Each structure stands twice: as C-alpha cells, then as structure tokens.
Amino acid sequence: MDTNQRSAGIILKTRLCNKLHPDNFPQMTGKMAAVLGYVLDVPFVQPRITAITVSTDGCLSPTQTSLDSDAFYATTGIWFATGAR
C-alpha cells in the first residue's frame, strides 16, 4: 500500500469516527457505543471490548481483558444476552 492510499485510509477512518462518535448521538446506548468502538478500534467506553463472539442465535458476547466480566458490566452499564432470547 503506498503512502497516498494509507493517508486516505487514515483520513477516512478519522472522518468516520468523528461522524459516528457517541457524543453526536445522545440516545446511543453504552452497548452500542462499545460495539461501535470495537468495530472502529477506538475507545468510546472503558474498559474496551477486545473481541466479540456472535452466537448462532445472534447474541453478542463481548470479551475484555482489564476487568472480570461482572465488573465490566457494572462499570460500563453494558450487558449482552449470551444465549437467552
């Protein structure tokens, strides 16, 4: 990848992050901000999601490394169903 393509990619990612930043969407849930931060690789919430597993029924299970899962859910206000509909 040449320098121009790399620069264009960085500019595009920056513009996309600015446009989709949770501050621009007051009704965005912490759950959505965490998933969006994971997809865009930016820290919208702390602790960050480091991986997402999607079950066969479409539920998302986040993985993070800085805290145990109970503390993660409590500190971010994020919860994900892990198999229940």
Long-range Cβ pairs for the range 10-17 (8 Å, 24+): 13/40, 16/40, 17/42
What residues does each domain of the chain span? 3-76
The residues with which 54 forms a beta bridge, in sequence order, are 60
- The per-residue pLDDT for 7 is 87
Structure tokens at 19: 């446009």
Which is higher by pLDDT, 55 or 13? 13
pTM, rounded to two decimals: 0.64
Least confident of 14-18, 47-51, 58-62: 58-62
Tell me which amino acid residue 15 is: R
pLDDT of residue 20: 94
What is the identity of the amino acid at 60? L
The label of the residue with tokens 């480091």 reads 50
